[in-house]
Amino acid sequence: MHYRTVSDGVTSFDVSTLCLGTMNFGTRTDDETSRAILDRFIEAGGTFIDTANNYSVWAGGSGRDSEDLLGRWMTERGNRDSLRIATKLGAAQKDPSKPLSSTPPTNFEGLSSEVIRRQAPASAKHLGIDHIDVLYGHVDDRDTDLAETVAAFGELQRDGLIGIAGISNVATWRVVEAREEARRQGIAPYGFVQQQYSYLHPAPKYGRNNFVTPGLLDYAASVGTPERPPLAITAYSPLHQGGISRLDKQLWGGVDHPTSHARRALLHEVAADIGATPNQVALAWLLGAAVPVIPVVGVSSLAQLEEALGAADLVLDDDVRDRLDAEPGDEG
């Protein structure tokens, strides 16, 4: 396992460069399997674990199942101090009688100061911890004044409840404005952005703000000074929920287009040539990029975890990376 230092200019700590996503822990992934995965991740040197307060509601869960399981597991293992725990708020059900949706009407609680002040302590309680290392706004909320949201995260930081604040599913310009607003208020800015990202890219579309973009990568590469504090990018669905490893699997989320199918086929060719799996190459591509991101790897079995762990030490040579990044027609 490898590690990197993350910071918002005020708070800094190290995290493993692979983050374990726990969305289905305690629901679709049973307790015994979830604990075995957690134990093995820690044994392998993993320290960064990701959850949220609304996970698996769509599968009959309470939303807090993974937070609760993590809390019980950390208490039993006595290992909380060696871990960095991230959770999210703002996308739990505003109206419990209505379903969640990623398209309007979303039924998300949003990122008002009231929601942030109420839900953050609740997450800490469910996790059984006295502070949350990373707290994300789960989905950007344009109906709430940005200054209000930023101030509420700053208040939690001043109170010692959270270490570094972050935002997810957001347009790059909103990240920049939020960080500028934090500077105006004299508080620490967002130090994390979590977006969807994989070797397969979506077709451009106005309003699609949940993917890592070249602009976001460029912005993250440009910061890292006292005047412009660092910004780390974490990537969810880095294996596209099985879409990377299976050539027969339907692609989704704007990624189902000819270029993605060609890239996926190329990824499989490269993996075979270097003696790795497509998933390992896809993760190594993210980890070793010019602007490296932290993949949030969601697994449901020990075998899947072992495969992902194999990517931690996989270094793609320049010629391999050039081959993977070639535009159609470049080979000629």
Residue 104 pLDDT > 90, yes or no? no
Residue 331 pLDDT > 80, yes or no? no
- CA 248/CA 227 separation, integer angstroms: 48
pLDDT score, position 330:
55
Percent of the chain with pLDDT over 70: 98
Percent of the chain with pLDDT over 90: 92
Three-state DSSP class for residue 68: helix
**What's the whole-number average pLDDT of the chain?**
96
Quickly tell me which residue has 């679709």 as its tokens: 28
Predicted confidence band of residue 329 (pLDDT cuts 50, 70, 90): low
Q: pTM for the complete prediction?
A: 0.96
Which of 167-176, 245-254, 259-268, 280-289 is predicted least confidently? 245-254
Predicted confidence band of residue 332 (pLDDT cuts 50, 70, 90): very low
Tokens of residue 107, six digits: 């039924």
pLDDT score, position 149:
98
Predicted confidence band of residue 328 (pLDDT cuts 50, 70, 90): low
Three-state DSSP class for residue 130: coil
pLDDT, tens digit (0-9, with 9 covering 90-100), for 248-281: 999 998 999 999 999 999 999 999 999 999 999 9
pLDDT, tens digit (0-9, with 9 covering 90-100), for 46-92: 999 999 999 988 888 889 999 999 999 999 999 999 999 999 999 99
Go through 176-212 and write b for each residue having 16 or more CB atoms within 10 A of its CB, e for each that does not.
bebbebbbeeebbbbbbbbbbbbbbbbeeeeeebbbb
The residue-averaged pLDDT of 162-175 equals 98
pLDDT, tens digit (0-9, with 9 covering 90-100), for 313-324: 999 999 999 999
Rounded to the nearest angstrom, the gap between the alpha carbon of residue 89 and the centroid of all alpha carbons in its chain is: 13
pLDDT score, position 100:
86
The sign of the dihedral angle between the CA atoms of 206, 209, 213, 218 is positive
pLDDT, tens digit (0-9, with 9 covering 90-100), for 16-39: 999 999 999 999 999 999 999 999
pLDDT score, position 165:
98
pLDDT, tens digit (0-9, with 9 covering 90-100), for 198-243: 999 999 899 999 999 999 999 999 999 999 999 999 999 999 999 9
